[in-house]
Amino acid sequence: MMLRTIQKNGLNNLKRNNMELDKISNIELGGIDTNDYPDMVDAHIVSAEYNGVELTDAEIEELNCNSEFVYDCVLKELF
């Protein structure tokens, strides 16, 4: 799947069209505060790649809407 498709349709549309979250890599997180564990409400993805291509700010914003994915990334980072 090409990045142009991601930009055109947005990550939510791609997820519905079989976007594979496991193809997202090099995830950089921000806002992690261990005093807020287990909620981690301020944690968010700062940058990431999809199939080796860096996501745009709009795509990152869309990805951050998937709070379950973000939370899983935080747990992997911490533990």
Q: Can you give the pLDDT at residue 79?
A: 87
Task: Please choose, from the candidates 41, 62, 79, the residue with its C-alpha nearest in 3D space to the C-alpha of residue 24.
Answer: 62
What is the domain count for the chain? Answer: 1
* 45 bridge partner residues: 29
Single pTM value for the model:
0.72
Structural domain of 67: 3-78
Over the stretch 28-57, which tens digit does the pLDDT of each residue have?
999 998 888 888 889 999 999 999 999 999
**pLDDT above 90: percentage of residues in the chain:** 54
Mean of pLDDT values over 10-23: 58
